[in-house]
Amino acid sequence: MSNNPYLPFKSQIINITKQTEVDWTYQLACDIKPQWGQFVEVSIPGVGECPISISDFGEGYIEMTIRRVGKVTNIIHQLDKVDHLFIRGPYGNGFPVPEFSGKQLIIAAGGTGLAPVKSIINHFYRNPSNLSQLDLLAGFKSPSDILFQEDLALWANQFNVLVTVDKMLGDTPWNCKEGLITKWVPEIKIPNLEEARIIVVGPPVMMKYTVQEFLKLGITEENIWVSFERKMCCGIGKCGHCKIDDTYVCLEGPVFNFTKAKNLMD
């Protein structure tokens, strides 16, 4: 790979896991050392480029979970193991994971919002003594939209994992609840409000109302972080596509403390 973070490099697909009909996880051979919650720009020559969160990483590989929605992602879903993608990055700031040490970490993730936090959950799964408690609240539209089912089952051995779907349609492959994430926030046991650190990631409307629920419980704004998926182009502060007022989401984000994020949300 290139040492220049602005230059795309070729990366081989070593595994593909189909999470749902449209969300597939790609494991790529790659030596980058990302921070939790950072993203890369993924490109197909002659087609285009798109920002994708790093959903997990380890020695010699990264993982991304890519939803098929358009031009670039349609082509990516046509690729197979041993094919290559072009990657540049990692970009963005990521989550302040060391700040969560010794605390209760509560993660509320909506849909593909679970992807950018998966590596954090795995980190604490491997290092459980670094937290006093981890609660994961994961919400999906329907049972067939549930991502990372094997991981959810594994994490539930060690953490408080609650999976909820907006509508329970037919059989559910995971023992989950029904209702929006906001409905379940008050159910989370928080022994010490000052010791709780909150991450909320998902569609803008989900983040807005979920954060409100945590604020109602008495969590302070500075203990809440969110991650934005803005439309991006360059990923490096040059094109202005991601700008909200004077803030470049690609450079200063995508992760924001809520004290800042509240001024960027509609």
Ligand X SMILES: Cc1cc2nc3c(=O)[nH]c(=O)nc-3n(C[C@H](O)[C@H](O)[C@H](O)COP(=O)(O)OP(=O)(O)OC[C@H]3O[C@@H](n4cnc5c(N)ncnc54)[C@H](O)[C@@H]3O)c2cc1C
**Contact residues for ligand X (CB under 6 A)?**
39, 48, 50-53, 64-67, 69-73, 112, 115, 229-232, 254
Q: Which does 241 bind (CB under 5 to 8 A by kind): ligand X, ligand FES, none?
A: ligand FES
Residue 5 lies near ligand FES (rule: CB under 6 A)? no
Residue 48 lies near ligand FES (rule: CB under 6 A)? no
Q: CB neighbours (10 Å) of residue 2?
A: 11
Residue 234 lies near ligand FES (rule: CB under 6 A)? yes
- Let me know how long the chain is: 266
Residue 239 lies near ligand FES (rule: CB under 6 A)? yes
With CA atoms as reference, report the closest residue to 258 among 226, 230, 229, 227.
226
Which residues lie closer than 8 Å to 127 by C-beta, 6 or more apart? none
Stretch that binds ligand FES, among 100-108, 114-122, 138-146, 241-249 (CB under 6 A): 241-249
Q: Which of 40, 120, 165, 232 contacts ligand FES by CB under 6 A?
A: 232
Query: Alpha-carbon distance 151 to 244, whole Å?
Result: 34
Give the nearest distance from C-beta 51 to ligand FES in angstroms. 8
Q: Are 82 and 13 in contact (CB under 8 A)?
A: yes
Stretch that binds ligand FES, among 8-16, 133-141, 165-173, 232-240 (CB under 6 A): 232-240
* Residue 231: alpha-carbon gap to chain centroid: 16
Query: Alpha-carbon distance 64 to 56, whole Å?
Result: 7
Q: Are 112 and 35 in contact (CB under 8 A)?
A: no
**DSSP 8-state assignment for residue 179:** S
Residue 216 lies near ligand FES (rule: CB under 6 A)? no
Q: Contact positions toward ligand FES, by CB under 6 A?
A: 232-235, 237-242, 248, 250
